[in-house]
Amino acid sequence: MIGKVEICGVNTARLKVLKNDETVALLERCKTGDMAAREELISGNLRLVLSVIQKFTNRGENLDDLFQVGCIGLIKAIDNFNTGLGVRFSTYGVPMIIGEIRRYLRDNSSIRVSRSMRDTAYRALQMKEKIIGETQREPTVDELAIALGVARSEVVFALDAISAPVSLYEPLYTDGGESICVVDQVRDTSNTDEHWLEQIALSDAIGRLAEREKHILALRFHHGKTQMEVASEVGISQAQVSRLEKNAISQIKKNM
């Protein structure tokens, strides 16, 4: 897909590239309502869209769809660009294209997020940009929550909800050989093969005990009762409970 030449019927190998002074002249004409200049600006900046969508090719999305969405971002950039700011068009256009693609990926994700949560997330992102612009530092979650007048947990959940999911097989590091993927760095210590086999062996070992020994162990270790309480409930002495408990544990260890 990365090496694809034709996208949406457009031969990317023959895309025109405008010089900066040509772009500025066309933008000036575009502001006067010149539709021909607008069309030329769009066709002359398609390579910009192409360069941006390369960043999103590992998400399994159709490249044609991403290209079309990127073109929407390009058109919005052309229609809203202020020629009086003295910055290059690409400086403004690239973030607009990226933003449009990210919005598309969020809204079309298989993980559905409620409208209210998305709205909270977008407000938090806007507030974050505003605070960074004013203070030249990234705000904390608590500062965002206070500025928005919502609970801290709402901000955390909202920002997490719109974060793009990462594939477990996305490469993290390559050193000329096999790539290290996310799945290689993820470990569940409670569900390892060793833990699973131990649980099976323990369950089998307990199953071999006499019913009275199983009942005593359940009262001691599941219900948390003392040996005296168990003795009173079962109707035997505390010494007998202690002996049966030790014998049961010893038998479990032997069976395992």
Residue 174 lies in a domain: no
Q: Is the domain of 9 the same as that of 101? A: yes
Residue 161 lies in a domain: no
CATH number for the domain spanning 232: value is: 1.10.10.10
Say how many domains are in the chain: 2
Amino acid at 115: R
Query: Among 78, 109, 140, where does a domain finish?
Result: 109
Number of DSSP helices (H) and strands (E) in the chain, helices first: 13, 4
Amino acid at 96: M
Domain of 54?
1-109
- pLDDT tens-digit profile of 174-217? 666 667 777 676 666 666 656 667 788 888 888 889 999 999 99
Cβ atoms within 10 Å, residue 220: 19
CB 217 within 8 A of CB 183: no
Pair type for strands 10-11 and 6-7: antiparallel
Write phi, then psi, for 145 (nearest 5 degrees).
-60, -45
Question: What is the band of 105 on the pLDDT scale with cuts at 50, 70, 90?
Answer: confident
- pLDDT tens-digit profile of 150-175? 999 999 988 887 776 666 666 776 66
Q: Quick one: CA torsion of 32, 34, 35, 39, rounded to 10 degrees?
A: -100
Residue 172 lies in a domain: no
Q: Considering the entire predicted model, what is its pTM?
A: 0.44
CATH number for the domain spanning 9: value is: 1.20.120.1810
Which has the minimum average pLDDT: 3-12, 62-71, 82-91?
A: 3-12
- pLDDT tens-digit profile of 56-71? 776 667 788 888 888 8
Residue 84 lies in a domain: yes
Residue 200 lies in a domain: yes
> Token match 């025109």: residue?
16
Largest CA distance in the chain: 100
Residue 181 lies in a domain: no
- Average pLDDT over the chain, rounded to an integer: 81
